[in-house]
């Protein structure tokens, strides 16, 4: 593809930029090269831009499209519901049905409250934790992302310090409120968590983490680390909160907590829950969630909106019914992609690692091996990854510049083959570019 081929997206971005800051409605979308793309259609594993290029899609709407674009069961449920109304401002049967399904699938879920975005589900979880404990402080981990709402933006991708794997300050420090109530702990360092709790434990309501540090580099917890965090929380009377906005339903029907066997007190869920229809949930132990009966304000005009709820019910139906075939297939395809990328990288002499967690891959360029901590992730180079994703786009693969790839149930063996051919060509281009600039 030459420059001319992105004319439609470039023209759209110029128009949008007149009336939308940066021309995008979520800051990170502006980072895509050669230009942020405008799309017209998505179906299955493919997405089509305004210039008519079809891509194999690994952005997957930033994660929600676990079943691919337009999964028939979900679309049919939404069509049927459309004829019966969109938003009632009151209850409907599908809400309790959805809560029951979440309780059945997610180990830590005994009661559920619905919201619309992942950021809100995190806020609801933390408010419930403060009410349940009568304490105010929250411990979070370096590089973990919990949404874009101010107090939780400390030290994560898009944080004031700009310390994401792509160090791009999305919120200028002077415009962000973090406050003394957020304490930041290094990931995979049980001693640091024990020390922080020894010092502040009596004031800590919640220890919140991505149980696999997806945004901090797709880093699994070391053996025993989650169990230690669980034990320390119990010892200090604070609640363990898993942010499973990304990992929920994606790593297993019951998310990372099912995979790791460690059960949190509260869980934030979103993304894959709704197959692209906006919906999130906070779920947890009945005793803890019970504070929402009277001590916690929980609001949202669109909470429990009928379209998202029926989409979520249909999604969970598919995940439950097909789990024995769907998850092993996702693991196999993701493994083939990750291994294929690493083998091609070795052939091109590119220092590329593909870290895998369920149907998620995170690429790291020139980072240490093994990669365990956020500091390790930050030691990698971001610019080659940006070049790489640009060349992938030019070769028909839609992948983010951060190197975070979402694999979906709609991806096929043919998609993997096409993708690896594109990876081969993109690596050749990047290697040439890097050699050229080293001369």
Ligand X SMILES: Cc1ncc(COP(=O)(O)O)c(C=O)c1O
Catalytic residues: 145, 243, 271
Q: Which residue is nearest to ligand X (CB)?
A: 118
145 vs 225, which CB is nearer to ligand X? 145
Interacting stretch for ligand X, rule CB under 6 A, among 117-125, 172-180, 323-331, 385-393? 117-125
Asked if 118 interacts with ligand X (CB under 6 A), we say yes
Minimum CB separation of residue 428 from ligand X in Å reads 32
Query: d(Cα 235, Cα 190) in Å, to the nearest integer?
Result: 14
102 vs 345, which CB is nearer to ligand X? 102
Q: Which of positions 44-63 make contact with ligand X (CB under 6 A)? A: 62
Minimum CB separation of residue 400 from ligand X in Å reads 11
Q: Which of positions 261-280 make contact with ligand X (CB under 6 A)? A: 270
Contact pick of 56, 94, 122, 309 for ligand X (by CB under 6 A): 122
Structure tokens at 25: 């409605």
| Contact track, ligand X, 213-232, x by CB under 6 A | --x-----------------
Asked if 119 interacts with ligand X (CB under 6 A), we say yes
122 vs 371, which CB is nearer to ligand X? 122
Nearest to 218 by CA among 160, 307, 157, 161: 157
60 vs 430, which CB is nearer to ligand X? 60
147 vs 264, which CB is nearer to ligand X? 147
Minimum CB separation of residue 164 from ligand X in Å reads 11
| Contact track, ligand X, 62-81, x by CB under 6 A | x-------------------
* CB neighbour list of residue 282: distance below 8 Å, 6 or more residues apart: 112, 113, 115, 121, 124, 125, 128, 266, 267, 268, 269, 289
143 vs 201, which CB is nearer to ligand X? 143
Q: CA dist 102 to 114, 139, 253, 299, 412, Å?
A: 11, 26, 9, 20, 28
Contact pick of 145, 187, 327, 374 for ligand X (by CB under 6 A): 145
Asked if 142 interacts with ligand X (CB under 6 A), we say no
* CB neighbour list of residue 225: distance below 8 Å, 6 or more residues apart: 188, 190
Query: d(Cα 101, Cα 427) in Å, to the nearest integer?
Result: 44
63 vs 340, which CB is nearer to ligand X? 63
Interacting stretch for ligand X, rule CB under 6 A, among 93-101, 126-134, 197-205, 241-249? 241-249
Minimum CB separation of residue 35 from ligand X in Å reads 22
Minimum CB separation of residue 431 from ligand X in Å reads 31
Residues forming the site for ligand X (CB under 6 A): 62, 117-119, 122, 145-147, 210, 215, 243, 245-246, 270
């Amino acid at each position: 593809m030459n420059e001319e081929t992105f004319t439609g997206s470039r023209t759209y971005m110029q128009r949008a930029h007149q009336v939308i800051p940066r021309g995008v409605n979520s800051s990170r979308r502006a980072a895509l090269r050669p230009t942020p793309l405008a799309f017209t259609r998505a179906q299955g594993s493919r997405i089509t831009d305004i210039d008519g290029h079809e891509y194999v899609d690994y952005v997957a709407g930033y994660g929600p499209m676990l079943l691919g674009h337009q999964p028939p069961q979900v679309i049919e449920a939404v069509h049927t519901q459309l004829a019966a109304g969109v938003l009632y401002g009151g209850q409907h049967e599908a809400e309790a049905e959805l809560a029951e399904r979440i309780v059945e699938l997610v180990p830590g879920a005994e009661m559920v409250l619905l919201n619309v975005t992942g950021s809100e589900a995190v806020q609801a979880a933390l408010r419930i934790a403060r009410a349940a404990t009568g304490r105010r402080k929250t411990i979070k981990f370096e590089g973990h992302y919990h949404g874009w709402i101010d107090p939780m933006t400390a030290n994560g991708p898009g944080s004031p310090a700009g310390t994401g794997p792509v160090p791009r300050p999305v919120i200028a420090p002077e415009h962000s409120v973090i406050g003394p109530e957020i304490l930041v702990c290094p990931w995979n360092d049980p001693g640091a968590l024990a020390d922080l709790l020894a010092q502040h434990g009596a004031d800590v309501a919640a220890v919140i983490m991505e149980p696999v540090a997806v945004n901090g580099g797709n880093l699994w917890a070391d053996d025993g680390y989650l169990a230690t965090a669980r034990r320390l929380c119990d010892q200090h009377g604070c609640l363990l909160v898993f942010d499973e906005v990304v990992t929920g339903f994606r790593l297993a029907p019951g998310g990372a907590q099912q995979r790791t066997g460690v059960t949190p007190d509260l869980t934030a869920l979103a993304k894959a829950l709704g197959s692209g229809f906006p919906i999130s949930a906070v779920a947890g132990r009945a005793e803890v969630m019970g504070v929402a009966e009277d001590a916690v304000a929980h609001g949202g005009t669109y909470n429990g909106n009928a379209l998202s709820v029926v989409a979520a019910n249909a999604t969970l139906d598919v995940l439950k019914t097909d789990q024995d075939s769907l998850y092993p297939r996702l693991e196999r395809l993701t493994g083939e992609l990750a291994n294929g990328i690493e083998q091609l990288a070795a052939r091109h002499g590119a220092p590329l690692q593909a870290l895998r967690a369920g149907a998620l891959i995170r690429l790291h360029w020139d980072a240490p091996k093994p990669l365990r901590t956020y500091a390790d992730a930050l030691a990698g180079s971001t610019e080659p990854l940006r070049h790489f994703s640009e060349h992938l786009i030019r070769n028909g693969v839609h992948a983010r510049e951060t190197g975070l790839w979402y694999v979906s149930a709609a991806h096929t063996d043919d998609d993997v083959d096409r993708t690896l051919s594109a990876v081969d060509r993109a690596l050749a281009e990047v290697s040439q570019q890097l050699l050229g600039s080293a001369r």
